[in-house]
Structure 1
């Protein structure tokens, strides 16, 4: 695994999520994310750290992007897949999820494997859960 790509991508994921969430909250008056980690069951937390990233990356990066590439360029396919990914997360602040989808797609293309975005997604969810617990 390309650890440099992994570390840079994880920093981008966390950094851009923080910036876009903060900007949405402050400038656009988008309400903050609901703190669900403290009220979630252990089963839900474990699922969000393991199974959910695998399923989402297989659906949105591996299969949907490949399907869309039959009709569109890679960039447009990634954009559509990332928008659908963001919309389906049902949050008022759409942009962090859109950017995350774009980063996951880029790392899949750059690494040549679905393993990289899965590991990034798991790591990002871990950071999100931990940050909600310490708030």
Structure 2
């Protein structure tokens, strides 16, 4: 697979993903349909459009067709590696935090002042359940199958390993353009996930890492994360804040090394 095709397929997935959502938004805007953007119907459409986008691209462009009965390749998983997957996810969280805080970092160092911000934490309600389904089940499975098992593997056939990893990770990062501060954390996650898949030859490890990562992000963005963010704000980007960043790099490397050197067959 050429780089241009990988980029175009990523764009195609994005376009197909947004078509049903765009239609629904237009119906709400130009009709008398009394529904708001936070209605559960939108969450259902978001989830279904994600599945539809990936399945359609798989059907049209994944050749030869994979054996769907064992596409997730869960046989013979080494469950002793789960603690290291958790360690890697925690490390990626610490590494990504300064990128999430980018705007505040610039503002703080320019003005030498710090004003705590108020965060709106998600609540455990009906809509939250659909978000959990999409974030914890649909995204890990379909995104890992597409960006790692499909794109990354096909890119490897034509390019050197490092370039295949970079292009796959760039494409993966690009689909998170709605949250610009997540572009670099997503890119770093893509690199780690590619390395794990390349070394283990099992996409299920990448899916598990994705699930664990999204679970942590989801929980910390609900009220469970309030004490953590309050404590993080209190650091005011001091030495301890950057020590956590360095600690994140180290434990991510440790986790990935343990996973990629273990006997996973």
Could you state the TM-score of these two structures normalised by the residue count of structure 1? 0.83
Gaps of 5+ in 1: none
Are positions 1:18 and 2:84 aligned together? Answer: no
Relative contact order higher in (CA < 8 Å, ≥ 6 apart)? 1
Aligned mates of 1:72, 1:40 — CA distance in 2: 45
Deviations 1:73-99 (A, max 9, x none): 111011001011111112212111110
For 2:148 and 2:221, the matched residues in 1 are separated by: 26
Aligned-partner SS, 2:157: coil
Q: TM-score, normalised by structure 2?
A: 0.45
Instruction: Report the Cα distance in structure 2 between the residues aligned to 1:10 and 1:126, rounded to whole angstroms.
Output: 10
Counterpart Cα distance in 1 of 2:100 and 2:221: 14
- One of 127, 130, 133 as aligned partner of 2:219: 130
CA contact (8 A) 2:121 2:222 kept: no
Matching of residues 6-85 of structure 1 within 5 Å: 6-22=85-101, 24-28=102-106, 37-38=122-123, 41=127, 42-85=129-172
Which range moves more in the overlay, 36-45 or 116-125?
36-45
Deviations 1:31-87 (A, max 9, x none): xxx968548822122221112100000000110001111221111011001011111
- Alpha carbon RMSD of aligned pairs, Å? 2.3
Q: What is residue 114 of structure 1 aligned with on the other side? A: 203
Distance 1:125 1:78 in 2: 21
Counterpart-to-counterpart distance in 2, 1:36 and 1:109: 36
Instruction: Give the total of aligned pairs.
Output: 130
Higher Rg of the two aligned structures? 2
- 1:75-131 Cα offsets, whole Å, 9 max, x none, are 101100101111111221211111011111111123221111100100110100101
Name the SS for the 1:71 alignment partner: coil
